[in-house]
Structure 1
């Protein structure tokens, strides 16, 4: 093996090790237990915080066909990164399923952050597509009403007609700009 290949192998090994640290940090997000009672309690707390801080989200909740509430997502990365969180799908105020949110990414990044998010499924069709999928992925077409910097609720006529609306709030950490694009949601059994 030439000297250049040795440097490349060491660099690749170091990068892979740092990436695994980021993913491991993302998995240790404080939820700690898939117990459905604990997840439901955290979902209730998260919804209360969201409704108190952004009162307009109550109206969205009432108009939605269902909501996926992920109380805590931990995202960390250094070149490669990942995020993980668990939550509950609520329809008419009752939990019907539990989900995990997982995200992986690569690029110029460093740091860690934690945040909560709620997906409002505004149509029965959007909710049905989500529930039928074996792993639904959030795309760039997701509309945001509350995003990172703690902005007040901003919803216009275009936002309110979107099939899926996201509220991302409660950010803490060293990374800026939480986004849900590329997050994959998979049903879990607590």
Structure 2
């Protein structure tokens, strides 16, 4: 049985990845095939998620059981899913570099067309390339369907789409980071983020005495004033924040999560992370990253939590508060929320 969560499979005999099929396909490289400078950022449902070090666009890739490397991605940050790459290290496969051609793609009976170009040198002995789809519904079909067939009427290549639903959501979150980095290059955008973060922080302290008490102890604070649904095919949220220390802005950060618990009717929320001593702050600042729910030294406060955290008897040296305009929130969790510096 096929399962979009990644538990299903397709037998090799049904995949029909023939040698002449790839030669006919003529899929190939262009500016988006930035494999040599890809930076690994995640692994979801068997798919590896990479981000380009130059254009910050994200791709997902998987090596199939038969040795073919399949990549799904975008031409640049913010673009829709629009290309698929297939590569092989098999020297017997004929690849015609630089030759363009039209290709038909069938996804569980739904057909698309694309433009393909051959590539003779992808990476590590892989040859093949990628094609661009000419339909914005291509990405949705990749996420929701089970089998992609390239050239269905002539030497077909069948590719399992197991796990693409969640992996594409993770790729979207990765991609949103690239968009955020570009936005941070605008002075007005930076100024607005910092002003919103400061206003959000002050509102939290005015409305919550517990947060105010911890704020008196904190040596630094990171505030994410507005975290919104990222428009993913699977639930996920993302937003930008600011790191403050001694009244100064020390950096800008991005938080994202694929598994934030949804609250009915809620469109956005915010949270603040307080570092209660210099050691906690330096540990975070040296890595420029933090994953909530994984680091046991971080305690998260939500509505309905009444007990204080005794920081003298536990290893907790960082606290986080989840809130919206009405105060602390009960049904949101920060489990698996990742914080990453917005490098400019």
Q: Same fold (TM over 0.5)?
A: yes
- 1:26-175 aligned at under 5 Å gives the runs 33-34=183-184, 35-75=189-229, 80-105=234-259, 113-140=267-294, 141=296, 142-145=298-301, 147=302, 150-151=303-304, 154-158=307-311, 162-170=316-324
Aligned-pair CA distance for 1:102 = 1.8
Give 1 or 2: higher helix fraction. 1
Deviates more, 1:122-131 or 1:54-63: 54-63
Number of equivalences: 178
Q: Supply the distance in 2 between the matched residues of 1:109 and 1:46 (Cα, whole angstroms).
A: 21
Helix, strand or coil at the partner of 2:147: helix
TM-score by length of 1: 0.71
Q: Supply the distance in 2 between the matched residues of 1:77 and 1:185 (Cα, whole angstroms).
A: 19
Query: What residue ranges of structure 1 are gaps of 5+ in the alignment?
Result: none
TM-score by length of 2: 0.42
Aligned-pair CA distance for 1:189 = 4.5
Helix, strand or coil at the partner of 1:81: coil
Deviates more, 1:109-118 or 1:54-63: 109-118
Q: Supply the distance in 2 between the matched residues of 1:77 and 1:63 (Cα, whole angstroms).
A: 37
Aligned to 2:147: 9
Q: Is the 8 A contact 1:135 1:186 kept in 2?
A: yes
Query: What residue ranges of structure 2 are gaps of 5+ in the alignment?
Result: 1-13, 16-106, 109-144, 149-159
Deviates more, 1:31-40 or 1:118-127: 31-40
Helix, strand or coil at the partner of 1:37: helix
Q: Which has the higher contact order (CA 8 A, sep 6+)?
A: 1
| RMSD (Å) for aligned C-alpha atoms | 4.2
